Amino acid sequence: MVRRIVLFFVSSFILLLLILSAWGVLVYITPPPPKMPMLPAPPAIGGVSASLIDGNTGDVLAEKEGNLRIYPASTTKMLTCIIALEEGRDKLNYPVTVSKRAMSQDGTNVGLTPSMPISLDQTLYAMMLVSGNDSAVAVAETVAGSYDRFIEMMNEKARNSIGVHHSHFANPNGLTDKNHYSTAHDMAQIGRYAMKNAEFRKIVREKSYDMTYLDGTVRHIENRNEFLGHNYDGANGIKTGMTEAAGECLVASAERNGQLVIVAVYNDKNRWEDVQSWLTYGFAKIRARERYETELAKEPFIYKQVNRILGKESS
């Protein structure tokens, strides 16, 4: 009986030594898990605030005072346009309402008048390319039936559908108002939401367009978004803005091999160049993340388990 007990403990001890030896060998031969590459900080830009996001996922890639309250100026029209496309889709081929309010807007206008009827669809091009403030009001009153109701729709859309909570909109065109504000982060997310819509994407990528009135009159218009003309690889939108209070603003996007990247910069005198440097940084960061995820997926199962036990890799 004693001999059996001794044999049991000796055998158990030998087995334990073998297991520990095997574990030690396994630990020794197991390489460390792939590491997410550390990229340098994004390039310096002149803007007061900026936000760079993955247009496919919404993940933030870089920010500079991304949650600072800013005046969004005419980048507001991204929200006006997507509301029109989603909530006013049944009215796109019908003439817009051109009210006295629309015709009396300050800043850039396209000169809408009741005597030259134009469809809602064509007015969206005037609003997004020329940045017509009169067009934005005409769109708002046509889609919602009243100006005030459209403002309610803007805040509802931003908060409930898009999920941004640091913005408040008081008009459809972005003219300066103390109650009309946002952040670079929120505007980048609004741009991302809008770019999911194929018709929105079609509008904002146009460098120029032949806008057609309902009587057949054609008016050639040019997009004020100079970013589209800088031959940046994949450039496909989105919207400019500028007022004295807001400074020079731009929400820009580019897409390569199905990967969309969006950047929003505010009060940036070097906006055309700065968005390009940040978009390039964004694509590089996404490629680095994809390489890391590929290497992680290729890691052998046994190595992965060892690294997890050792606390070198999360489960």
- Look at 33 and 303; give whichever has higher pLDDT: 33
Taking the C-alpha atoms of residue 205 and residue 287, their distance in angstroms, rounded to an integer, is 24
Task: Report the pLDDT value the prediction gives residue 192, as an integer from 0 to 100.
Answer: 98
Q: Model confidence over 279-293: pLDDT tens digits?
A: 999 999 999 888 877
Task: Report the pLDDT value the prediction gives residue 17, as an integer from 0 to 100.
Answer: 65
Angle 134-239-271 from CA coordinates, rounded to 5°: 125
Q: Which of 33, 31, 72 is nearest to 51 (CA)?
A: 72
Task: Report the pLDDT value the prediction gives residue 16, as an integer from 0 to 100.
Answer: 64
CATH 3.40.50.970 fits 47-292, yes or no: no
Task: Report the pLDDT value the prediction gives residue 308, as an integer from 0 to 100.
Answer: 74
Task: Report the pLDDT value the prediction gives residue 279, as an integer from 0 to 100.
Answer: 98
Q: Is 74 tagged catalytic?
A: yes
Given 49, 74, 119, 167, the catalytic residue: 74
pLDDT confidence tier of residue 238, bands split at 50, 70 and 90: very high
CA 243 to chain centre: 22
Q: Which of 132, 139, 171 is nearest to 155 (CA)?
A: 171
Task: Report the pLDDT value the prediction gives residue 29, as an integer from 0 to 100.
Answer: 63
Give the pairing type, strands 49-54 and 208-212. unpaired
Task: Report the pLDDT value the prediction gives residue 207, as an integer from 0 to 100.
Answer: 97
Q: Which of 86, 272, 243, 260 is nearest to 176 (CA)?
A: 243
Given 64, 77, 157, 285, the catalytic residue: 77
Domain residue limits, the chain? 1-31, 47-292
Q: Is 77 tagged catalytic?
A: yes
DSSP character at residue 90: G
| Strands in 169-282 per DSSP E | 208-212, 218-222, 235-243, 247-256, 259-266
Task: Report the pLDDT value the prediction gives residue 1, as an integer from 0 to 100.
Answer: 65
Q: Model confidence over 249-308: pLDDT tens digits?
A: 999 999 999 999 999 999 999 999 999 999 999 999 999 888 877 766 766 767 667 667
Above 70 in pLDDT, residue 147?
yes
CB 129, CB 155: distance < 8 Å? no
Residue 58 has a CB neighbour count (10 Å cut-off) of 13
Task: Report the pLDDT value the prediction gives residue 269, as an integer from 0 to 100.
Answer: 97
Q: Is 131 tagged catalytic?
A: yes
Task: Report the pLDDT value the prediction gives residue 21, as an integer from 0 to 100.
Answer: 64
Above 80 in pLDDT, residue 246?
yes
Given 49, 131, 135, 167, the catalytic residue: 131
Above 60 in pLDDT, residue 229?
yes
Mean pLDDT of 205-224: 98
Q: Which of 41, 42, 53 is nearest to 164 (CA)?
A: 53
The overall average pLDDT reported for the chain is 91
| Strands in the chain per DSSP E | 49-54, 60-64, 208-212, 218-222, 235-243, 247-256, 259-266
